[in-house]
Amino acid sequence: MADTENPKTHPTSNAVKDPDDWTTGGEPMTGAQASYLKTLSEEAHEEFPEDLNKADASKKIDELQGKTGRGEQDDR
């Protein structure tokens, strides 16, 4: 088996998955998502969306991270 076929050599290679494809994406957002989303909403001067599901909360977090500069990584 080649290294590219062995999931143990790249254990996070499939860790990033589109929230629309999550099997639990329709469930209510987690407490951790709600807490972080509240913080980001305050920093972005936006209303906190309390009724999001897990998938939509993840998308909103990504959006607000872009607006606030949080969560950005320097790839250089």
pLDDT tens digits, residue range 34-49? 999 999 999 999 999 9
User: Residue 54 — pLDDT band, cuts 50, 70, 90?
Assistant: very high
Model pTM score? 0.71
* pLDDT(71) > 70: yes
Tell me, what's the pLDDT at 76?
Answer: 45
DSSP collapsed to 3 states, 16-68 = CCCHHHCCCCCCECCHHHHHHHHHHHHHCCCCCCCCCEHHHHHHHHHHHHHHH
Mean pLDDT of all residues in 2-14: 58
